[in-house]
Structure 1
Amino acid sequence: MECPENQKVACATFVLQKDAEIWWRDNKTLLNPEGGPMNWERFKEAFLKEYYPKSERLKRQQEFAHLVQGGLTVEKYNREFNKLKRFAPSMVDTEEKMTEKFVLGLEPRIRRMLEAFNPKTYEEALRTAKALEKPKDEKRREEPVIIGQKRPHESGGSDRPPPARRHRSNNRPAPRWDERRPPRHTDRNPRNQDGARGRREEGCTICGRLHGGRCMAGSRACYRCGQEGHIAVNCTAGNAVAQANPPRVVEQTDQPAPPRAQARAYA
């Protein structure tokens, strides 16, 4: 929209809001003490000094001076280029300067090919750069793969390396199977050992009971001294021997022992 020089300040101040509107109302007389239409250049200088300090302008100029495409697409790089170029007008004040700045910021692969076309205008450089840009899916297909190495989607498992074997200290050989067996627990109590042996003894083949020595069942002899004529209750002989080493006895009975079962043999 064309705006006459003497109406620029009125149009600009009409759209000011909040703090900017307050600033203009408080400083209007100070900026234009003569009265009448205010000079546009004077207003612009005062306004930029208040809301757009020199430090911020220099910061934006440096951003544009070092702007490169990097990981952006050509379209996003172009939008960023147009957003920042107004902060450094001296760098793009001609078509040739603007085209050169745009081309220098492209990624190296596109820039080398684009320089071969030698574009004359900014629009031509932008159009050619978009044509030379590869789609993202095509870039993924061209990722280098080391020979013998599977792609991530072909490995089918974890990429973690196999666990390393543990090294044995002092280079000692591995123990044999019998050396790795835990020691068998043995009972040191002789009573427990005797009891265990007693439980493993087989019954007497004559009386069927568990005892040591000769079986006295059916012989009418004393179970203590082995002499006939009395029983163990009335035995007075060998008390010292009997007390020191008491024999294993079974209850004496006058009943004859059951007949011994005969073993059968099967063909």
Structure 2
Amino acid sequence: MTDTNEDEATRQELLKTMISEEIGRAMQASIPHLAQEVESHVLEVVESMMASKMDELKGMINVMQEKKGTRKCTYKEFMACNPLPFKGEIDPIACQRWIASTEAVFIRSHCEKEDQVMFATGLLQLRAKDWWDVYSKELGEEKVQVLTWQEFKEPFLKYHCPQSAIDKIQEDFLHLRQKDETIDEITNVFLDKLKFCKDIAGTERMKINRYYGMLKAEYREFIIPAKCETLNELIDLARDREIEIRRQAERGEKRVSENVSSSIPSKKPKFQDQSKKDKAKGSIPKCKTCGKLHTGECLKGKKGCYNCGQEGHPYYRCPNPSRTCYNCFQPGHIKAECPKLQQKTDKEARKEEAPRAKGRMFQITTEEAKDHPNVVSGVKEESSSQVKQQGDQDRGKSHV
């Protein structure tokens, strides 16, 4: 029995030894695999932690950016963008220009919607300020505080852009013609009025035709509007033509049409002057046969003298020449002896004669001359006899 127990104990010890060795060998074989599993698990945990931290950081950055972007705009920052003031002109063009400028400042300054009306009304001056004071009192303080920009624009445009002013702009747009303006100047006027003429020139083709009809003839002659698809193309062609006209003016060139037009009016004064000359020669009509002015029977085509009608001598050798005045067309005298011309000459001479100044003489006695302080005596004192003789000759009078 004792030997049996010892053998059993020995077998158990051997079994335990074998089991521990097997376990040791199994653990040694599984250590690399376990290490890989642990490493992979650790990496997963680290990656998840890093991803969560990155998400947290991104969220913090977004919050900071949102806070920075949503920072409330101050009135000082709004005015730093140089918005245009408005003085209350009843002019749709100026009113629309102010609206567009103010809305652009809203975007640049990141102005809050609830502050837009308050900031914009600070730009109103003179009559516009008076209108806002009255209108804001009608609305009340509470309504003004929550008034939006769109709600402000409606009554503002209704007051400062009445329909009568818009009708006037449309009428001026229809009669708009280029005079002495440059292409850029007339284009600015055209585009300003075009904003209120969508019914008249709503399509691009209507704009092109209207702009082309507004230009001067020297531009229309070299531009074909049908080849332009947009208004900007037509404006560019007009600018190119303007540059060419300036170059021609610098070179001293003139267009053929200008030369022709300048020569046509020159004939009109000549015709008028000729009619005046015909009227000045008298009421004698021109002869239909010879085309000259004369009275009596026309002797053109007949043989003989034009003066007496007899043959044998020409009119310049006529023994009995008829003397006829070319001024009054009366026989018996020539133009140099015309009494009408002499009367005119005498009248003109009398008008040209200037009135002659008449001299005046004053006489005073010797005693008055001696007593008067303004009289200077020019008689030299000689002998008393000479003085007496001179006084007798003057009979006691002195000429001054």
TM-score by length of 2: 0.35
Structure having the higher helix fraction is: 2
